[in-house]
Amino acid sequence: MKLLFTYRKKYSYYDERYCIKEVEYFIELTVLFFFCLINKSLLAIIIHTIFEKLEKEAISTELIQLPDVHIKPCRITQGKDCLACMGKDNCVFKDDDFYEIFEKIKEADGLILGSPVYGVDISAEMKIFLDRLGLASIGNPDALRHKPGAAVCAVRRAGGMNTVNTMNNVMLFREMFLVGSTYWNMVYGKDIGDVLKDDEGMANMRNIGQNMAWHIKQLWK
């Protein structure tokens, strides 16, 4: 995958002989953010808030909306069992959009997951995606290992913690580093623009962007 942006920067550091050396390093990040179409307007505000902080640090972003792609559930068919992806570089099924998305995830330096709250948890589209992601990354552990990740949600009233935790749990068992904020990663609102009234929630989103940028730079030093 060709990343959208390459950031080259010089920095100085002291080596063991206390001599100042100047080197160049690259920061390349593709942030894949998934959210459901029905709550699109609420989550769009959240994601753009995070992206603004990342882009100020010259980190590129990519947005993928699950309702705009076709991802089938995990399935046992065509002579393939539940663990058919083990030892493979990608999912064994190539008849939908997941294969291409997972290739992007392998090249990305960070991952942000987002979902509205449906029935006190993630959306159906996100559940299907996480099922596929979990199994595909078992077969290719380096796809997610040691990468920074964050989960955010938009919630009207209840279920925000369940939603964030569901996404966090997948990233945790794939050995990712979770990026936190000053409070839980959720913003409250029902109608378009309501989330902007949640001052604390929006401040959390800005801080997530700043923390994600900091983490990426630490990994690339």
Tokens of 105: 């995830």
Tens digit of each residue's pLDDT (9 = 90 or more) over 131-174: 889 888 887 888 899 999 999 998 888 888 999 999 999 999 99
Q: Which of the four CATH numbers 3.40.225.10, 2.40.50.1020, 3.90.79.10, 3.40.50.360 does domain 31-219 have? A: 3.40.50.360
Residue 3 in this model has a pLDDT that exceeds 70: no
Within 8 A by CB and 6+ apart from 212, the residues are 31, 50, 53, 54, 59, 110, 112, 148, 150, 179
Question: Which tops the pLDDT comparison, 80 or 68?
Answer: 68
Q: How high is the pLDDT of residue 15?
A: 37
Which has the closest alpha carbon to 185: 151, 162, 147, 148?
A: 151
What is the percent of the chain with per-residue pLDDT over 90, rounded to a whole number? 22
Strand spans (E) along the chain: 7-14, 20-27, 31-34, 62-63, 110-116, 148-155, 177-178, 186-188
Whether residue 41 is predicted with pLDDT greater than 80 in this model: the reply is no
pLDDT of residue 34: 35
pLDDT at 93 over 90: no
9-39 tens-digit pLDDT:
333 333 343 333 333 334 444 444 433 333 4
Per-residue pLDDT at 38: 37
What is the structure's pLDDT at 14?
A: 35
Residue 129 has pLDDT above 60, yes or no: yes
Q: What pLDDT is stored for residue 198 in this prediction? A: 83
Question: Residue 58 has what pLDDT?
Answer: 84
pTM of the model: 0.77
| % of the chain surpassing 70 pLDDT | 75
Could you say which DSSP state residue 19 is in? -
pLDDT digit string, tens, across residues 95-126: 889 888 988 888 888 899 998 888 889 989 99
